[in-house]
Amino acid sequence: MIGDKKVLFSGMQATGNLTLGNYLGALKNWVKLSDEYECFYCVVDEHSITVRQNPAELRKRARALLTLYIAAGLDPEKNCIYYQSHVSAHAELAWILNCFTYMGELNRMTQFKDKSAKHADNINAGLFTYPVLMASDILLFQADVVPVGIDQKQHLEITRDIAQRFNGIYGDVFTIPEPYFGKAGAKIMSLQDPAKKMSKSDENPNGSIYLMDDPDTIIRKFKRAVTDSEGQILYRDEQPGIRNLIDIYRACTGKSVEEVLAEFDGKGYGELKMAVGESVVDQLRPLQSEVERISKDKAYLDGIIKNNAEKAGYYANKTLRKVQKKIGFPERIR
């Protein structure tokens, strides 16, 4: 709790290019939370290096992601938007929490198994202890709530277990975070494989709409979107490609399923794809314009990076010093 507000923590990795799924499913909803919560939104660059990164590319993507946060409507005066690597308390607390986390707990993490399969040539210790760094991210700010998708639910559970274990030994040190289940964002699936989520790491670039794709690229990708041979525009599980297109159209236009089905009654898949593509172009145009405008103002961005790193560091270090004292580290001489 900071002031009268509960604390909310979230972040995105500084790898790949954000997709329409990231925007409609998460980022767009974050904007609505800053009035209700004290929000910390992290550009997660320390987690990113569990997979080898090109250094110049990582720096560029981190800045681009921070710019996107602001362009999407996150006010950096109301929300603390910062780089994870600029607040050393993340890594310091993670080491301490490693000593309160059991190997068996980490062995059960499904994301470690999945990522190990994808990166068999680089199964590093950081990948294994990834959930502990995530626990550190959350617990540093005494977060009351954390927005989680299905793929992160297990990580929040281990965060709660670690916090409760630490509190059981040393008293009330950490706030036990709860999952945030606000209004569900649109779940956007791949345009080429509607059985799986649209992903910034998709090997097929035609499966994802990236937030900075130009209008021609967006329309082309929708024209290539996988549908089926039924020839009817219905909203049902048996037609996952059509269902996904309808979900995207609804998220961009605010229309109900019934309104969309009425609009396309008797029309073909080609017309649906074109309409969805154009609605996405309209949705992303103001975002892209804001990214372009903000990117040109280096002094403005640098000021946000500096000021918010200091703000995040202040709150993070309050927790870290408390933890260090509890476990018996010598006090710092100031």
Using alpha carbons, list the distances in angstroms from residue 204 to 165, 188, 190, 192, 222: 43, 16, 9, 8, 14
Q: Which two tokens stand for residue 170?
A: 């040393």
> How far apart (Å, rounded) are the C-alpha atoms in residues 42 and 134?
11
pLDDT of residue 143: 97
Residues labelled catalytic: 115, 197, 200
**Averaged pLDDT score across all residues of the chain:** 92
Helices 89-98 and 298-327 sit at what angle, rounded to 10 degrees? Answer: 30
pLDDT of residue 252: 94
Tokens 């277990």, residue?
A: 161
Read off the pLDDT of each residue in 239-246 and give the average, rounded to a whole number: 96
pLDDT of residue 201: 81
pLDDT band at 73 (very low <50, low <70, confident <90, very high): very high
